[in-house]
Structure 1
């Protein structure tokens, strides 16, 4: 018997259920062992049903990354407004610290976003994800420079520099190249302080 045709609203709702289940499992068990069958079981459908909504596992991961990016866009808009009306140093500190906080509270999610790359994510998509983060940092830096809080720096170069300061140690740790957690935390604190010192004109 043919399956009843679904409306666009029903399809969207099911895709959201699948992405929610994937996100929950991802934070619990990580990317490497997460299968379509496990996602289907979490949703409460057969694994073949998932292929009605997504081509394969990598397509699910790509859609999840895009959804997370959309949520970040909303937060970033609020951060830019706060930097315009408040203290850009405080906003920048929070943005840079959020990478380490994500890695600490949701290590598997951090690995998913910044360490592991799904086959479905092309080089263009990877570059786009980095560009979105760097563009946001550059916009904050430009505001800080214009308002006299940050030194006269090239915003794009400065954004790449501070991003590397704070994420370099995290990526090394979560890719297995740095294994001492206490050492990581010490480097994190030093990296954040160094990034802010590099930027600031006034005391942050």
Structure 2
């Protein structure tokens, strides 16, 4: 049976199985004690098998984070497409989807943005996945600027403001420090804060 299992991994399942096992083990024991040997044991393959796909623990964690950013981008893009065509509604939908993603995928999210950050210059696929997720925000704000809804300020800076808001909300919610209940109460708060953001993006630039 073990040999049959390993043969299926040769057909492309091993890499994803290792990623899934790493996520599970991080949830159980944290990142610091994670090892490729431990992951291999969880998957049921030889200790050397993970090295077919990952040179070390950091490479495996980079793949986990990359997958997280890809999923985040898909989540935001799906919400964007489902929202009314008005850029304001789309930005609101993206922000809510971002926070909900973090709450639904806390292990992925903490690895993507936590203290254990992989070197983006070394893992270019991870860097690109992160950039593509951020570009969902950028393109939506550009859309609003073109329509004359959002102010004609630097688009990247405006996207950073939007990201900072939802990232802060996500982190506080995950740490149970947002002081807002889950479900409808959280949804109402996110819509309120999104409207505050949108009003700011649409308003006049203040001279400081």
> TM-score normalised to the size of structure 1?
0.68
Question: CA 1:131 to 1:34, structure 2 compared with 1: closer, same or farther past 3 Å?
Answer: same
Q: What is the number of residues matched between the two proteins?
A: 192
Moved more, 157-166 or 23-32: 23-32
| Superposition deviation, residue 137 in structure 1 | 0.9
| Superposition deviation, residue 166 in structure 1 | 2.0
- Unaligned ranges ≥5, structure 1: 1-5
RMSD: 4.0
CA contact (8 A) 1:31 1:108 kept: no
Give the equivalent residue in structure 1 for 2:90: 91
CA–CA distance in structure 2, aligned partners of residues 163 and 90 of structure 1: 16
Aligned residue for 2:59, secondary structure, equals helix
> TM-score normalised to the size of structure 2?
0.67
After superposition, the C-alpha distances for 1:146-172 in whole angstroms (9 at most, x for unaligned) are 234434443222111111122135446
After superposition, the C-alpha distances for 1:114-158 in whole angstroms (9 at most, x for unaligned) are 113345544885865654343221111111232344344432221
Give the equivalent residue in structure 1 for 2:101: 102
CA contact (8 A) 1:88 1:140 kept: yes
CA–CA distance in structure 1, aligned partners of residues 113 and 34 of structure 2: 17
Once the two structures are superposed, the pairs formed by residues 43-54 of structure 1 within 5 Å of their partners are 43-54=43-54
Question: CA 1:119 to 1:155, structure 2 compared with 1: closer, same or farther past 3 Å?
Answer: closer
- Unaligned ranges ≥5, structure 2: 1-5, 183-187, 204-208
Once the two structures are superposed, the pairs formed by residues 42-121 of structure 1 within 5 Å of their partners are 42-74=42-74, 86-119=85-118, 121=120
Query: What is the aligned counterpart of 1:182 among 155, 179, 183?
Result: 179
Query: What is the aligned counterpart of 1:196 among 195, 198, 201?
Result: 198
